[in-house]
Amino acid sequence: MAANTSKTARASVKAGQGKGTAGLSVLGEFKYLIPLNGGKHVYLRNLTTGKTLHLATGSEAFTEALKGLAAAGHGEKLKAEIEGLAAKLPEQGWDTTLKNLEEAGVFSAEAVAA
């Protein structure tokens, strides 16, 4: 039966079964934000904790969660993702959300260094 699977598929399975490998292996594009309720809420995937949070985009909890991710080195990707949402879904107010996050210092050098 194994002969019917491709070399690429077998190599992929073998790589996924690595012995003693630690850390996170992500295939493809990883999205941190899943917009909900017209951009008023979001599911936030947190790579550092492995949890997905349900947050209001205007809440302090959302800002603090993003600050934590930015401090862990994910700030640039988060900002790019929010900019993409602002371009793709302008009616949901992601440009305002981005502006508020920037004013709160989420993506600033001080927040990332903290």
H helix or E strand, kind and range, residue 102: helix 94-103
> Which DSSP symbol is given to 28?
S
Lowest pLDDT segment from 9-18, 21-30, 86-95: 21-30
Question: What local confidence, expressed as pLDDT, does residue 19 receive?
Answer: 46
In Å, how far are 1, 6, 10, 85 from 77, measured between CA atoms? 42, 34, 32, 12
Is pLDDT of 65 > 90?
yes
Cα–Cα nearest to 106, from 19, 44, 30: 44
Q: Which amino acid is at 4?
A: N
pTM comes to 0.70
Given a cut of 60, is residue 35 above it in pLDDT? yes
Mean pLDDT of 28-39: 87
